[in-house]
Structure 1
Amino acid sequence: MFVKDCMTTSPITIAKSTPILEALEKMKKLKIRQLPVTDKGKLVGLVTERELLTVTPSPATTLSIFEMNYLLSKMVVGEVMVKDPITVSPETTIEEAALIMRENKIGCLLVLEEEELTGIITQTDIFDAFIDFFGIRKAGARLVLEIRDRVGAIADITEIMKSMNVNIRAMVVHRRNNDLFHIIVRVNTVEPEGLVKELEAKGFPVISVS
């Protein structure tokens, strides 16, 4: 799965000359937390709800609420936006996008194609993608198998499931240590007892069923 499969296309943008109070109101109305900032159609920055909410005039302690509101009304997005925000291409994989967000501690990535803003992908989009990976919204059972690292182990597991006419909805491999793996498998049956018995009989311990 790639960024282009999960991103919001044609994202809503805002001009850098927009007052920050207007930007906050727009975010609240549209129920979004970030807005790409453009100037003459070109991407120049990114503004987030968090950044706008943390903006305060200085020195704040000496100002009345009316003075603060007046100063805030004069501040524009261009003064608080993130310049040169991190971007990715539509062909970036979901796992790469997740890693970039995690390493840079950011909540979204802007998507550029030939220097044109084509989309935005957020943490929520990433979460939704991984939920789809695991097939959580589909009926079935979730099995966790414990196996030793060896060639052909997954092939053997899938062959057992094929022989029992069980369809695999999702499969994830989690390394526990250098030699031990957990295979998390979501299958289409809601009554996996027979499958569990067959797997264990063939030497694949099932340590969790849900």
Structure 2
Amino acid sequence: MFVRDYMTTSPITIGPGVPILDALEVMRKNKIRHLPVVDRGRLVGIVTERDLLTVSPSPATTLSIFELNYLLSKMEVKEVMKTNPITVAPDCTIEKAALLMREHRIGCLPVMEGDNLVGIITQNDILDALIRIFGLRRAGTRLVLEAVDRVGALADILATVRKHQINVVGVACREKEDQRVQIMLRLSTVDPQALIKDLEEQGFEIKSVS
């Protein structure tokens, strides 16, 4: 799974000299929370809805509505945008994009191909990718089992699944501290009982079936 498979192509952009109230209106009209800031075709920053709302006045302010509108009308995107945003290429993996967002605590990544902005990928896009990877919208069974963390454990499990002629929709593994591993399988069957019995006979502990 790569960024190019889930990014929004031809993203809506905004110029650095646009008033912040206009930028907020663009976000609300298009139901988005991130705007790449482009100056003469070059990406120069990123602005988020939170950035814009942070500089908006508190309801407790003593300024009049006229003073507020005047001050806000003078503030431009370039005053609140984040410069030198972290970017990724279209062939970046979804896993790496997710890790970058988590490490830097950001909600989106502009996607660059050379010097050209070709897309944007957000946290929601990452979640959509994970939903697809795990096959969460496909009918079937979610099976969680536990095994000794050894070489070949997953291969043995998948060989057993194959013996029962069941298709594997998704796989995820989580290491535990006691030299064991939990393995989640999404299976294209609604009747996994024969498979479960076979796995238990091989020493695998079934933790959850849903």
Query: For the superposition of Structure 1 and Structure 2, which TM-score range results when normalised by the shorter chain?
Result: over 0.9
Q: Which runs of 4+ in 1 moved over 6 A?
A: none
Which residue does 1:180 correspond to in 2? 180
Which residue does 1:35 correspond to in 2? 35
State the Cα RMSD in Å.
1.5
What is the TM-score when the length of structure 1 is the normalising length?
0.95
Cα separation, 2, equivalents of 1:43 and 1:150 = 47
Contact 1:13 1:36 in 2 (8 A): yes
Which residue does 1:118 correspond to in 2? 118
Which residue does 2:22 correspond to in 1? 22
Which residue does 1:198 correspond to in 2? 198
The amino acid that maps onto 2:146 is: E
3-state DSSP class of the match of 1:38? strand
Identity of aligned residues (%): 59
Deviation at 1:178, TM superposition (A): 5.3
Cα separation, 1, equivalents of 2:67 and 2:150 = 70
What is the TM-score when the length of structure 2 is the normalising length?
0.95
3-state DSSP class of the match of 1:44? strand
Between Structure 1 and Structure 2, how many residues are aligned? 209
Cα separation, 2, equivalents of 1:170 and 1:27 = 35
The amino acid that maps onto 2:25 is: E
Aligned: 1:128 with 2:128: yes
Cα separation, 2, equivalents of 1:171 and 1:179 = 19
Aligned: 1:76 with 2:76: yes
The amino acid that maps onto 1:157 is: I
Which residue does 2:138 correspond to in 1? 138
Deviation at 1:198, TM superposition (A): 1.4
Which runs of 5 or more residues in structure 1 are unaligned? none
Cα separation, 2, equivalents of 1:56 and 1:150 = 55
Which runs of 5 or more residues in structure 2 are unaligned? none
Deviation at 1:150, TM superposition (A): 1.8
